[in-house]
């Protein structure tokens, strides 16, 4: 069983437990549930930087990235730096995140927030909405076409945008459907953790123009973005590059200024 399979196995169990504790009605009564969401896809279309900055404490491939910042410090720093949106990891076991991180981020900034999570159930989409997200992530590697269709439709009906993450041609072909807003190409192979910008370059021409294209993972330099832009990418998700410094907001500010 590879790391991705382990994460998904644990996630299914986690959702069952959460459903037993917090009923859907409680999520629907949250203060953020009726809030109008902010469109990341529209912001990316008109942005000069396209940076989606990430709040990420650790990962399976790099145990600890940074535990020193508060969520508020990081996300306010990103907003002030001019990021288009912020990705907030909410997985606890493997990434050290939580839904509280999303809640604190929502209370701190007024730009689009992505709930970065391994979504396998509609319940997690209700959580995303209740805790202040503007869009959700769906990962093609762990979902069937039918699951992508039902989960993305459910999200759209709640007013959330959908970023679908793919890693190869097969995942892309099975996933393309009108209920998606953004298609992200993950430059990291989730099974081997190998990273290469070639994944984005190879898939770019296969992604229909009605979707905003985002490149994710392994982007650590302005040169990488300059290299990817001619392929039609409007968004660039950067996490570790900012989080591993002693001031994520400052690192993002300097990076975006160089762009």
Active-site option among 49, 217, 240, 241? 217
Task: Mark whether 165 is an active-site residue.
Answer: yes
Q: Are strands 51-55 and 161-166 parallel, antiparallel or unpaired?
A: unpaired
User: Which tokens is 97 given?
Assistant: 């995140």
Active-site option among 56, 129, 213, 234? 56
Task: Mark whether 56 is an active-site residue.
Answer: yes
Task: Mark whether 66 is an active-site residue.
Answer: no
Active-site option among 54, 127, 171, 240? 54
Active-site option among 216, 234, 240, 241? 216
Task: Mark whether 116 is an active-site residue.
Answer: yes
Q: How far apart are CA 199 and CA 219, in angstroms?
A: 12
Task: Mark whether 189 is an active-site residue.
Answer: no
Active-site option among 117, 161, 165, 171? 165
Catalytic residues: 54, 56, 116, 165, 186, 216-217
């Amino acid at each position: 069983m590879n790391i991705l399979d382990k994460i998904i196995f644990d996630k299914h169990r986690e959702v069952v437990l959460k459903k037993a504790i917090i009923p859907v009605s409680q999520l629907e009564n949250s203060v953020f549930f009726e809030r109008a969401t902010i469109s990341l896809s529209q912001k990316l279309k008109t942005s000069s930087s396209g940076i989606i900055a990430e709040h990420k404490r650790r990962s399976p491939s790099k145990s600890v990235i940074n535990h020193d910042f508060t969520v508020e410090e990081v996300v306010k720093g990103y907003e002030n730096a001019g990021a288009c949106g912020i990705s907030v990891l909410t997985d606890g076991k493997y990434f050290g995140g939580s839904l509280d991180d999303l809640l604190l981020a929502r209370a701190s900034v007024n730009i689009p927030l992505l709930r970065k999570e391994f979504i396998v159930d509609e319940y997690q989409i209700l959580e995303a909405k209740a805790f202040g997200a503007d869009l959700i992530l769906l990962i093609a590697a762990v979902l069937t076409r039918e699951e992508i269709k039902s989960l993305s439709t459910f999200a759209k009906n709640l007013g959330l945008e959908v970023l679908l993450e793919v890693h190869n041609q097969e995942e892309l072909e099975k996933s393309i459907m009108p209920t998606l807003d953004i298609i992200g190409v993950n430059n990291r192979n989730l099974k081997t953790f190998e990273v290469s910008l070639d994944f984005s370059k190879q898939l770019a021409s296969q992604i229909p123009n009605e979707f905003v294209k985002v490149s994710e993972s392994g982007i650590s330099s302005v040169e990488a973005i300059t290299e990817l832009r001619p392929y039609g990418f409007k968004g660039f998700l950067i996490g570790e590059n900012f989080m591993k410094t002693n001031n994520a907001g400052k690192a993002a500010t300097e990076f975006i200024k160089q762009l």
